[in-house]
Amino acid sequence: MQRQTLVFEMMRAPCSLLPVVITICYLMAGPHNCVAIPKKTSCYVQDGRADCRHLSLSAVPPDLPRNITSLDMSHNRLKGIPPATLTPYPGLLHLNIGYNSITKLDPGLCQTLPLLQTLNMEHNQVYVLKTEDMSHCTNLTRLIMASNKLKLQGEPFSALQSLKVLDVSMNKLQSAKLSSQPQLPSLVSLSLAFNVFTTLKKDDFSFLNQSFLQVLNMSSVPLKTLEPGCFTPISSLRTLIMDGSNMGTLVISKLCSELSGSSIDVLFLRKMKLITLSNNTFKGLQKTNLTFLDLSRNGMVTIEPGSFQWLSRLLTLILTDNNIKLLTMDTFQGLKSLKKLQLTKALVGGHPTPVIKDFSFQPLSALESLILQRTAVHAITEYTFTGLTSLKELDMSWSRYDSLRNITKKTLVSLAGSPLRKLNLTGTAIAQINPGCFSVLRNLTTLLLDFNFIKQNITGKEFEGLGQVEEIHMSNNHQTVNLGSMSFVNVPKLRFLTLARSLRAEAVNLNPSPFRPLPNLTFLDLSNNNIANIRENMLEGLVNLKVLKLQHNNFARLWKSANLGGPVLFLKHTLRLTTLEMDSNGLDEIPAEALRGLSDLRQLSLANNLINRLKDSIFDDLNSLQVLNLQKNLITAVRPEVFKTPLSNLRLLVIDKNPFDCTCESMLWFVTWLNDTNVTSVPGLRDQYMCNTPLGYFNRSIMDFDGLSCKDMTPFQALYILSSTAVITLIVTALLVRFQGWRIQFYWNILINRTLGFSDATVEEGREFEYDAYIIHAEEDSSWVERRMVPLENDQCKFCLEDRDAVPGTSQLQSIVENMRNSRKILFVVTETLLKDPWCRRFKAHHALHQVIEASRDSVVLVFLQDVHDYKLSHSLLLRRGMLRPCCILDWPVHKERVPAFHQKLLIALGMTNRLQN
């Protein structure tokens, strides 16, 4: 494909005006709305066609591509067309130099352009056209010379052997006779429209007697006289256009008789002020094969009986835009082949109101289509349409027939004999349809009742007899229609039902649903009805439903999770849905299961709602989705958890005008997807998709969002998470150890002891001793020992208490020595009192130490009931904490719950081997 732009010198005047234009525009519209439309300065070349229109050029541009085949120089300032200016383009097939000021056609033009097929010179000032001017134009097939001042000299068209179309309209030609010699053998279409001759002479068209002219346009030619035989040279004529030529009825009938021997097929007689048709106007057409007659815009008032009796082969009669007052059974007499009768605006109001008499259409036994659009007629009776035995379509839309206000069984009974398929009663001011009113229309498949005032309960009887009906359109009936469970029982084949802006708000809140009898329904429109309440089973059984339109209702509550009894999942019965429209319903929630199973859905529209956060995977079953509209909601994030599936096959996405949050977690995935997608079209992406937050991106396009910043963040983020985790772990551990450390230790000990046993001392080690521990304590602490230590004794563990276990018959000293020797460990219950007790201090401690040293035993265990300074300890008992293994130093806990742990530790300390560790 070639696309070239060429710049030419522009006229100076418009150029200097440009700043002025811009200034005015600026003052009027403000700086933001001001877009000065730049003046075109060059020809536009594409596919070998050069378009140089409206460039104020005074000559053909010399620097267009040489190989162009088409050049449009119309609407410029050419004064002539010197062949030399066209020599660069010898391949031209089509040249348009219309709307210039050319006065002469240069003989060299067709020599320079030997291949030229089309020459358009309309709206110039060509005056004299001579024989030699076009003597080389043998390849020309189309010559448009309309709107010049032609004065033919000699035989200017004689060389045009290939010409098919000649247009010499609007040239003030005084005659239709373009030549006296036969020529233009290929001519098919001739336009003589808007010329001023008033007479067609016998031999005017004789120059065409070797051609096969098919189309003749003589619009607005004020013909008054037609000489007999004037059409004889062009008897091959099939289409004659006489629009706007005010000939009068008599001249028309003369015209028709002159056409008698022709092949006339199509006749346009529009805008001819044919006020009255008489019974012989068309008489001359009796022998023709006329199939199409257009009589529109004639202001026709009267059609005399039998006016059309001559047109037995007519298939189409157009009477649009007339003022006919009366149709009788004689009006259409003889139109026995007529298939289409177009009467749009043919019978309009005023005084008197037009009348269609009974049996007016009876002659039209072949009529298939009767169009009575925008007509106003006195009444429809029981016999108005009688005899239309082939009628398939009756269109009375936007008409005023009083009889239609209240349609009863009798209103349309005259159609009983018609195999009517389509009845259009749109906009006919119907207020009520009564039981059985359509019952005679047994073949009806389409019933149009839109834009009426129907105000009633549809009980179902109204549609009696419509067993074949597949479409009922009943939209725009002012929300005054009420339904019942039986409304549609008589139309079981219904496939298409529209009830938009027609229903009362509660009309469908029924059980069973009014739609239950319609298993074949594929299209249902309930939009614009303010419906707030429906039941979950509204669509039950509609397994074939494909299109469901629910926009402009009030479904928000039905889909709320807080709805009493849970959200109403009414779509679960219609799994073959392909289109769902729920715009403008105030929805702020979509239940997780609402769209489950809709795997055929191709279009989903939820625009103009209040949807904010979409639950993960609500769209996951929509894998056929092609169009998704979420425009004008409150969506901040387009997350893959929600949108990955629906966006995978999408052709069109509309999600603009939402308050997008342009942060990495909300927008990164979407922006990346938008950047990568090559199948989905997203209109207005640049200027309709704006960030709302964070502040830094406010009101900027989401496409400005820098995805790379998120990618750079990734390692830092990992590091951040890692380090913060470490810090938190540390803090928790420290706090745990500080406040619960004993507990941890306790359980650790239990664990260790369970697995390894209490003692690391060998079994033999214990055998040598009678006691496990000799307890040294101050006198005052004996009650503590009594309460806390003695209960620990059992078979495995035996303490030696001096008061209790003194060896009988020995001195106290002796007894102490003896018992110490028989104890595996020596346990000091350390309190301030003990340190002050001279007995203990002096003797027991010394002896104990002596024994320890003597037996090389690591056998001392200290239990602190009070916090005692190490200095005092060593001073009184000659012991330091550091001399002992940590496990042999115990503190009596302040907290009661720690007592078991203390016991545990004590048992461990007592179980330690006495052998000195190296």
Ligand X SMILES: *[C@@H]1O[C@H](CO)[C@@H](O)[C@H](O)[C@H]1NC(C)=O
Q: Which residues contact 548 (CB under 8 A, 6 or more apart)?
A: 524, 526, 539, 571, 574, 577, 579, 580, 581
Using CA atoms, how far apart are residues 156 and 391, in angstroms rounded to an integer? 54
Under the binding rule (CB under 6 A), the answer on residue 678 touching ligand X is yes
Using CA atoms, how far apart are residues 70 and 48, in angstroms rounded to an integer? 7
**Which of 18, 29, 84, 115: binder of ligand X (CB under 6 A)?**
115
Beta carbon nearer to ligand X, 672 or 815: 672
Contacts with ligand X by CB under 6 A: the residue count is: 24
- Widest distance between CA atoms in the chain: 176
Beta carbon nearer to ligand X, 115 or 634: 115
- Residues from 12 through 51 that contact ligand X (CB under 6 A): 48
What track of x and - describes contact with ligand X for positions 414 through 433 (by CB under 6 A)? -----x--------------
Beta carbon nearer to ligand X, 100 or 360: 360
Using CA atoms, how far apart are residues 737 and 757, in angstroms rounded to an integer? 25
Phi, psi of 444 (to 5 degrees): -60, 130
Rg (CA), the chain: 54
Neighbours of 50 (CB within 10 A): 22
What track of x and - describes contact with ligand X for positions 518 through 537 (by CB under 6 A)? -xx-----------------
Q: Is 147 within 8 Å of 127 (Cβ atoms)?
A: no
Contact region with ligand X (CB under 6 A), list: 121-129, 379-387, 667-675, 751-759: 667-675
Beta carbon nearer to ligand X, 711 or 872: 711
**Shortest gap between Cβ of 639 and ligand X (angstroms)?**
16
What track of x and - describes contact with ligand X for positions 477 through 496 (by CB under 6 A)? ---------------xx---
Q: Which residues contact 737 (CB under 8 A, 6 or more apart)?
A: 744
Q: Is the dihedral of CA 388, 390, 279, 295 positive or negative?
A: positive
**Which of 103, 118, 139, 239: binder of ligand X (CB under 6 A)?**
139
Under the binding rule (CB under 6 A), the answer on residue 88 touching ligand X is no
- Residues from 266 through 295 that contact ligand X (CB under 6 A): 279
**Which of 381, 443, 509, 554: binder of ligand X (CB under 6 A)?**
443
Distances (CA, A) of 849 to 706, 785, 841, 855, 858: 79, 22, 11, 10, 10
Under the binding rule (CB under 6 A), the answer on residue 138 touching ligand X is yes
Q: Which residues contact 767 (CB under 8 A, 6 or more apart)?
A: none
**Shortest gap between Cβ of 333 and ligand X (angstroms)?**
9
Under the binding rule (CB under 6 A), the answer on residue 671 touching ligand X is yes
**Which of 16, 181, 675, 917: binder of ligand X (CB under 6 A)?**
675
Contact region with ligand X (CB under 6 A), list: 253-261, 318-326, 602-610, 670-678: 670-678
Contact region with ligand X (CB under 6 A), list: 134-142, 621-629, 769-777, 877-885: 134-142
Any idea which residue has 């004794």 for tokens? 793
**Shortest gap between Cβ of 306 and ligand X (angstroms)?**
4
Contact region with ligand X (CB under 6 A), list: 167-175, 649-657, 669-677, 681-689: 669-677
Query: With left for phi above 0 and alpha for psi between -120 and 50, is residue 345 left, alpha or beta?
Result: left
Beta carbon nearer to ligand X, 136 or 422: 136
Distances (CA, A) of 547 to 502, 571, 880: 18, 12, 93
Beta carbon nearer to ligand X, 306 or 363: 306
**Shortest gap between Cβ of 445 and ligand X (angstroms)?**
9
Under the binding rule (CB under 6 A), the answer on residue 5 touching ligand X is no
The token duo for 226 is 């037609």
Beta carbon nearer to ligand X, 2 or 153: 2
Length of the chain: 918
Q: Is the dihedral of CA 9, 13, 14, 17 positive or negative?
A: positive
225 three-state secondary structure: strand
Using CA atoms, how far apart are residues 501 and 479, in angstroms rounded to an integer? 5
The token duo for 305 is 């009986």
Contact region with ligand X (CB under 6 A), list: 576-584, 675-683, 693-701, 880-888: 675-683
Using CA atoms, how far apart are residues 68 and 144, in angstroms rounded to an integer? 21
Under the binding rule (CB under 6 A), the answer on residue 130 touching ligand X is no
Contact region with ligand X (CB under 6 A), list: 97-105, 653-661, 668-676, 830-838: 668-676
Q: Which residues contact 452 (CB under 8 A, 6 or more apart)?
A: 425, 426, 427, 428, 429, 430, 431, 476, 477
Beta carbon nearer to ligand X, 679 or 853: 679
Under the binding rule (CB under 6 A), the answer on residue 302 touching ligand X is no
- Nearest residue to ligand X by CB is 114
The one-letter code for the residue type at 881 is R
Environment class of 57 (CB within 10 Å of its CB; exposed 0-12, middle 13-18, buried 19+) = buried
**Shortest gap between Cβ of 114 and ligand X (angstroms)?**
3
**Which of 23, 46, 58, 67: binder of ligand X (CB under 6 A)?**
67
**Which of 65, 435, 436, 766: binder of ligand X (CB under 6 A)?**
65
Q: Is 519 within 8 Å of 491 (Cβ atoms)?
A: no
- Residues from 682 through 741 that contact ligand X (CB under 6 A): 707
Mutual angle of helices 707-756 and 899-911, in 10-degree steps: 60
- Residues from 568 through 587 that contact ligand X (CB under 6 A): none
Q: Give the footprint of ligand X on this chain (CB under 6 A).
A: 2, 48, 65, 67, 114-115, 136, 138-139, 279, 306, 419, 442-443, 492-493, 519-520, 671-672, 675, 678-679, 707
